[in-house]
Amino acid sequence: MPVRSAIAFCLLCAALLSGAPDAQARTVYRCVRNGTVSLATAPEPGSKCVAKKIDDDAAKLPNLWGEMGVINGTLYERQQDGKTVYSTRNLPGSKIYLKFTVKTPPGSPAHEGLGRIGKPQLKVFAKEFKAAAKATGVDDAWLRAFAHAESGFDAKAVSPKGAQGVMQLMPEVIKEYGVKDPFSSSESIGAGARHLKSLKRRYKDDLVLVAAAYNAGIGAVTRYGGVPPYAETQAYVVKVQVLHDRYLVAMGRKETPAK
């Protein structure tokens, strides 16, 4: 997820609310499209949007991303249903309203789901990730983000819930994909990639729902009609998104956020 369009509410809502003339409006919409997130003052056409109530004290909300220094972004203005609306996504008919710079609070604690995630690791199981990505079409950076979040690339990892291996496959997933040795890095990564491919197809490439289903299961996502209200799952989704962005940067597929 591009950092510029996916800055946490505590970082970006200040620019949204202070940048728009209707500054007293405290509802910000979190909109998801093709695995990217934007913030807007009205629901965006073509995106799945959820309204978020922002306190007047929004700039002092906990920093979900941890200390990241200075981040630059763009706020766009356009007309929608006869009203002027603002968004961080450059939609048709938009024009640049302002360029903003947001400084993350120094020493701000990271989201509980991020913890100390460490730097991207490109050399660990490099051949296995490359092969799985080629065989399934699942983005290599996305696949690595899940492995990093799940096990920290520990092929022998076992969770209290019974998940095993690099991709922390649950018993039913191990059975579904015919995994003989869940502690084999190649089998685990291969099956994990196939499972992610299946989830991407089910959720029409909505990577937020893919991450939620990988963590909480398809049943939970169906039951709640989206990301389940589980603290663990919500933290996990954020963690995978941040890791995906970091792997894209590490792999030279996007620029490092300006500081």
pLDDT tens digits, 73-91 = 678 889 999 988 888 788 9
Q: Is residue 41 part of a domain?
A: yes
137 vs 133: CA distance, rounded Å: 5
Query: What confidence tens digit (pLDDT) does each residue in 183-214 have?
Result: 999 999 999 999 999 999 999 999 889 999 99
Name the DSSP letter for residue 158. B
Name 243's Cβ contacts closer than 8 Å, sequence gap at least 6. Answer: 117, 120, 144, 145, 148, 149
pLDDT of the residue at 113: 44
- Residue 40's pLDDT band, with cuts at 50, 70 and 90, is confident
109 is a domain residue:
no
Element (H, E) at 74: strand 70-80
Do 139 and 99 fall into the same domain? no
Q: What predicted TM-score, i.e. pTM, was given to this entire model? A: 0.60
Burial 47-69 (b: 16+ CB within 10 A, else e): bebeeeebeeebbebebbbbebe
Higher pLDDT, 103 or 5: 103
Q: Do the Cβ atoms of 102 and 71 come closer than 8 Å? A: yes
- Check whether residue 95 and residue 135 sit in a common domain: no
Query: Total structural domains in the chain?
Result: 2
Do residue 59 and residue 130 come from a single domain? Answer: no
Helix axes 207-216, 231-250, angle to 10 degrees: 130
Copy the structure tokens of residue 57: 């004290």
Lowest mean pLDDT, pick from 20-24, 117-121, 182-186: 20-24
Q: Which residue has the higher pLDDT, 23 or 28?
A: 28
Nearest to 219 by CA among 182, 170, 149: 170
- Tell me the mean pLDDT in the region 60-79: 58
Active-site residues, by number, are 150
Least confident stretch, 15-24, 124-133, 143-152, 211-220: 15-24
Q: Give the containing element (helix H, strand E) for 52.
A: strand 48-53
Single-letter amino acid, residue 86: Y
Higher-scoring residue by pLDDT: 169, 242: 169
What is the extent of the structural domain holding 160? 126-250
Average pLDDT of the segment spanning 220-228: 90
